[in-house]
Amino acid sequence: MSPDLVPTLFDHTLSDPIEPGKLVDKGDAEKLFSFFQKHSLFNWQDSHNGCEAKADAVCVLLKAWQLPHYKAWVFGGGYLKKHIGGLKKNWNYHVAPLLPVNEDGRVVWFILDPATASSLQPMYDWAAGITAFSHSYHFIKHPHWYIFHEKKIAASNWHARNRQNRKWMLQGLAGINGLSDTGKARLCFNKERLANTAKKFEALKKHAVL
């Protein structure tokens, strides 16, 4: 990648209007990162299965713990805009939880994504680090949006969190892509595993980290 070429651009047309109110202290944000990085429910090494599931699971927990949060999305330009631009690992897109952090009296947006880094990352650095070749496009969405519309990616037509994609979220935590043919077959033989994952997740909602 040319050092003179900006790897990623913020897409205001796809980003939700955001007015951060409550903030997370930097030290608390680092504690959250460490907690999720080490927790057995999250297999961050399985980078080709369910970034939506992991991001939504973290956000559901942050909501239960009454902590401010959003989601940051990054898309390769080739996938989003039908021109040049791609992400690493042959990803078309990636999503991760986003924290509004108070750092020295100013708001800094930090990404909580152990799948791509060993510590918190500022949003731009996260998006740039995932970009294989320019350009990628990153933006902020409210956390209740689970996934984009598959035929047209616009600001207002995303699919909200519901009972169906909650199942996909729990399946993703269990290491199963319930949307693939292989994953659908695995669901039949992993009912106990899925039930245990759901039980652990619900228990975790009741035990706030901070």
Question: Rounded to whole angstroms, how far apart are CA atoms 127 and 144?
Answer: 21
Q: How much is the pLDDT for 98?
A: 98
What rounded mean pLDDT belongs to the chain? 94
* Strand runs labelled E in the chain: 8-10, 24-25, 70-76, 86-87, 93-103, 106-111, 121-122, 131-133, 136-141, 145-147, 159-160
What is the pTM for the complete model shown? 0.95
- Could you tell me how many helices (H) and strands (E) the chain has, helices first? 7, 11
pLDDT at 77: 97
Q: What 3-state DSSP class applies to 74?
A: strand
The predicted-structure confidence for 120-140, as pLDDT tens digits, reads as follows 999 999 999 999 999 999 999
- pLDDT class of 4 with cuts at 50, 70, 90: low
Region 72-76 average pLDDT: 98
Domains along the chain? 8-162 (3.10.620.30)
Mean pLDDT on 49-60: 94
